[in-house]
Amino acid sequence: MAENPFQTPALDIRAPGATPGRRKSCLVVDAVLCCLPLVSFAYVCPFWLAASCALGRWARPGVDDPSGFLYGIPHMVHMGLMLAAFAVVPVVVARGWLRRRTMAYAMAWVGSAAIAVALYRADVLSIATWIAD
């Protein structure tokens, strides 16, 4: 089959000049971008466990302040991840458009956000209440 002469080769990561390592790294970056809401939740769990280990008991909402742990740095990282999870939407759509999979990328982000919201709403062990404190 003949190649399309009007297609820009720089936009297609599957171009013959693209190396398999570059394709793999692009897919990893895309997966992280699409799953950033889940990454934000996944960060909270080890943070809560580390705070609980430092306190010698389970960290409780209303009693133990998450911003008081390690000078507030882990809490600020969580806030940055949470904001980035929503700010990355235009980047996800743009990367999906470049790879001609806009709906797949958008639906992956929406699914990730829905799972993260469900996990935050489930509030297992009061982790979500503690981090929102």
Region class of 8: left (phi > 0), else alpha (psi between -120 and 50), else beta: beta
**pLDDT beyond 80 at 14:** no
**What is the predicted pLDDT for the residue at 43?**
92
**What is the predicted pLDDT for the residue at 124?**
84
In whole angstroms, what separates CA 105 from the centre of its chain?
A: 13
Would you say 88 and 33 are in contact if contact means Cβ atoms under 8 Å apart?
A: yes
DSSP 59: -
**What is the predicted pLDDT for the residue at 10?**
57
**pLDDT beyond 70 at 118:** yes
Alpha carbons 4 and 102: distance in angstroms, whole number: 21
Confidence grade of residue 72 (pLDDT, cut at 50, 70, 90): confident
13 or 119, higher pLDDT? 119
Which residue intervals of the chain are DSSP H helices?
20-34, 36-55, 73-87, 89-98, 102-122, 127-132
Note every long-range contact of 39-47, with CB atoms under 8 Å and residues 24 or more positions apart, other chains counting.
Answer: 39/81, 39/85, 40/78, 40/81, 40/82, 40/84, 40/85, 40/116, 41/116, 41/119, 41/120, 43/77, 43/78, 43/81, 44/78, 44/127, 44/128, 44/131, 45/127, 47/74, 47/75, 47/78, 47/131
* pTM of this structure: 0.75
